[in-house]
Amino acid sequence: MSEYHFPRQDAQFVLDHIVEFPLICDRLGQEELNSGLNDAILEEAARLGSEVLAPLNKIGDQAGAQMVECGVQEAAGFKAAYQQFVENGWPSLAGDPAYGGQGLPKTLSTAVMEIWQSSNMAFSLCPLLTQGAVEAVSEHASDALKKTYLEKMISGEWTATMNLTEPDAGSDLAAIKAKAVPEAGNYKIFGQKIFITWGDHQMTDNVVHLVLARLPDAPAGVRGISLFIVPKFLVNADGSLGARNDVKAVSLEHKLGIHASPTCVMSFGDSDGAVGYLVGEPHTGLACMFTMMNDARQGVGLQGLAVSERAYQHALAYAKERLQGTLRDGSRLAIINHPDVRRMLMLMKSGTQAMRALTYVAASQADNLEVLKTTGSVSDAAICQARLDLYTPIVKGWITEFAQELTSLGVQIHGGMGFIEETGAAQHFRDARILPIYEGTTGIQGLDLVGRKTLADNGQSLFALLDEISCELASLEVGEIFTQELSNAIEAEQSVRDGVDWLLSHKEEAPAIGVNLMMSLGYLCGAWLMLRSAGKAQALSGNTDTDPLFLESKQVSARFYCEHFLPRVKMHLQTMKAGSASMMALEIEQF
């Protein structure tokens, strides 16, 4: 059994020194968090994660979910764990206090979510998707719908799902065919949805489905999609549960990973139609969906960090134990002492630290936005929102791709044992493989980055990010020992800037080069934040109660990141500038 421990020291360092979370709390008027409450929350979450969720991770992988007569039966132990999770108030952490939420900052709830996702990614997908649905309902639904649904979704008493994909409509949402027919002031929903995560289970009394469908008068394409709430059980006026709605899970997928997370084929309206309630205005489903999805995309990026961290801990424990090679005195050597194993561990360690820094920075941007919405100018808030939007495809795209490499290294460090399922290293590798696919593939993230996030504003918000990176690197005090790393990072930033200029003068190349630009930007952001970390660690050395061994390791980790990952920035850009000519040159018959 692999144990999981929240990497408290690194997370705390990122919170305190990279995103300056205490300052955010002050600005949000939540100063009380700084007097020990943040720490207490993280400590409690870490305990639940390690003691309750983590031990279920392998059990869930082996048992999976099953179709039974009443619907989908989740793996043994999951219901009790979920009930404890709800009773302890974890789902409501960042929820709106008007609906029973605790209104805590997004940065904090992100750190807590890292714990859930590392402990048990398959389990924690359920609250992650519910949170996305909460965002969509909060922002777009009528007060009546909010009154009926929001409180129980925020508390976790009910879970929620995102019903987008259909057999012919995956990345191409324009092809959605599910129908919504007006009836008795509401709607009847008909259609089939696939790949619905946690589409059914027995952990809660009700499941709230958010469903994209077309009204009868809908225009073709994405401008004709509307969003509906379709509960598993109808809700009476007094809030009690009524009749079973005409929606059910009809089958489960047999997947490569996240076995404990039921991936359902959902059927709506097999009998007389599933009762649905319109969220927002007709035909604005795409916007509502993006509210839900942008939150989920950041969450999936966080999963990439979380599963990499878990894989790292797993591999590290093995590397400390496994003996191979003998010293002259006859004693045997743990493989962590072999340079190539050390190389792989350092790749995992420095890589997850960079992921964590970027994920928390992106989350803190949401809190900054909250502050600006009340105290800032409209234009400052807009700039902040644009930065948050820009981070989304980087967090989702770069981190989830990066997680493929890091979880694979976790297997490799185990040698032959890594290929044996019993060891558990392979589970993280299998689980991670979904991350660059769901909630918008890496290709879709690339398109989002170059299209909506760059060409749409002529590069303005991307240049603003690069300006910030460039200014910070130019003034960073990391001493002589980082001269080379700093100069490489400055050069890398300049390369990305050139790359964006190239894109702006080669707009027609955008669809072909998105992924390479995104990857280069991700590795650059990682270097920027790791160098910031090195600077902070140096500044803290000697005059602080922070563990000096940790501060030293943080600098080593930053240097290693710059040596091993920073060169990738230029590599991706060089490839990017080759454009699409050879990519698109062949006729289909030539493949």
Subset of residues 405 to 434 that bind a copy of itself, contact rule: CB under 8 A:
408, 411-412, 415-416, 418-422, 426, 429-430, 433-434
Q: How many CB atoms lie within 10 A of CB 412?
A: 16
Could you tell me the CA-to-CA distances from 34 to 19, 30, 91, 105, 363 in Å, in that order? 14, 8, 21, 12, 18
CB of 265 or CB of 539, closer to a copy of itself: 265
The answer to whether 264 contacts a copy of itself (rule: CB under 8 A) is no
Measured distance CA(115)–CA(128) in Å, rounded: 12
CB 21, CB 38: distance < 8 Å: yes
CB of 108 or CB of 409, closer to a copy of itself: 409
Tokens of 211: 């469903």
Task: Name the catalytic one among 151, 439, 493, 509.
Answer: 439
The answer to whether 175 contacts a copy of itself (rule: CB under 8 A) is yes
Segment contacting a copy of itself by CB under 8 A, of 24-32, 48-56, 253-261, 266-274: 253-261
The answer to whether 447 contacts a copy of itself (rule: CB under 8 A) is yes
Residue from 6, 438, 482, 528 binding a copy of itself (CB under 8 A): 438
The answer to whether 575 contacts a copy of itself (rule: CB under 8 A) is yes
Bridge-partner residues for 176, per DSSP? none
- Smallest gap from Cβ 551 to a copy of itself, in A, equals 10
Measured distance CA(261)–CA(132) in Å, rounded: 17
Segment contacting a copy of itself by CB under 8 A, of 48-56, 162-170, 298-306, 453-461: 162-170
Measured distance CA(436)–CA(399) in Å, rounded: 9
CB of 128 or CB of 434, closer to a copy of itself: 434
Residue from 80, 174, 456, 471 binding a copy of itself (CB under 8 A): 174
540 backbone dihedrals φ, ψ, rounded to 5°? -80, -20
CB of 347 or CB of 363, closer to a copy of itself: 347
- Smallest gap from Cβ 253 to a copy of itself, in A, equals 5
The answer to whether 305 contacts a copy of itself (rule: CB under 8 A) is no
Among 71, 279, 296, 293, which residue's Cα sits nearest to residue 189?
A: 279
Residue from 265, 346, 464, 504 binding a copy of itself (CB under 8 A): 346
Residue from 123, 195, 318, 398 binding a copy of itself (CB under 8 A): 195
* Residues 6 or more apart whose Cβ sits within 8 Å of residue 523: 398, 492, 565, 566, 568, 569, 572
Beta strands in 4-80 (DSSP E): 66-68, 71-73
The answer to whether 192 contacts a copy of itself (rule: CB under 8 A) is no
SS3 call for 230: strand
The answer to whether 253 contacts a copy of itself (rule: CB under 8 A) is yes
SS3 call for 457: helix
CA 555 to chain CA centroid, nearest Å: 26
C-alpha dihedral over 545, 475, 522, 302, to 10 degrees?
30
Question: Could you give the count of Cα atoms lying within 13 Å of 502 in the half-sphere of its Cβ?
Answer: 18
CB of 92 or CB of 163, closer to a copy of itself: 163
- Smallest gap from Cβ 557 to a copy of itself, in A, equals 8
CB of 160 or CB of 435, closer to a copy of itself: 435
The answer to whether 342 contacts a copy of itself (rule: CB under 8 A) is yes
Segment contacting a copy of itself by CB under 8 A, of 211-219, 264-272, 277-285, 579-587: 579-587
CB of 170 or CB of 376, closer to a copy of itself: 170
Measured distance CA(175)–CA(355) in Å, rounded: 34
The answer to whether 223 contacts a copy of itself (rule: CB under 8 A) is no
Residue from 35, 171, 236, 494 binding a copy of itself (CB under 8 A): 171
CB 410, CB 311: distance < 8 Å: yes
Among 187, 73, 210, which residue's Cα sits nearest to residue 130?
A: 210
- Smallest gap from Cβ 417 to a copy of itself, in A, equals 8
- Smallest gap from Cβ 5 to a copy of itself, in A, equals 12
Here's the x/- map for a copy of itself, 53-92, by CB under 8 A: it reads as: ----------------------------------------
Here's the x/- map for a copy of itself, 491-530, by CB under 8 A: it reads as: --------------------xx-xx---------------
Length of the chain: 591
Tokens of 575: 């490839």
Segment contacting a copy of itself by CB under 8 A, of 30-38, 95-103, 145-153, 247-255: 247-255
- Burial of residue 250, with CB atoms counted within 10 A of its CB: 0-12 exposed, 13-18 middle, 19 or more buried: middle
Measured distance CA(429)–CA(422) in Å, rounded: 13
SS3 call for 132: helix
The answer to whether 165 contacts a copy of itself (rule: CB under 8 A) is yes
Could you tell me the CA-to-CA distances from 281 to 179, 214, 284, 288 in Å, in that order? 16, 12, 6, 10
439 noted as active-site residue: yes
- Smallest gap from Cβ 328 to a copy of itself, in A, equals 11
CA 383 to chain CA centroid, nearest Å: 22
Residue from 241, 336, 464, 490 binding a copy of itself (CB under 8 A): 336
CB 129, CB 163: distance < 8 Å: no
Which are the catalytic amino acids? 439
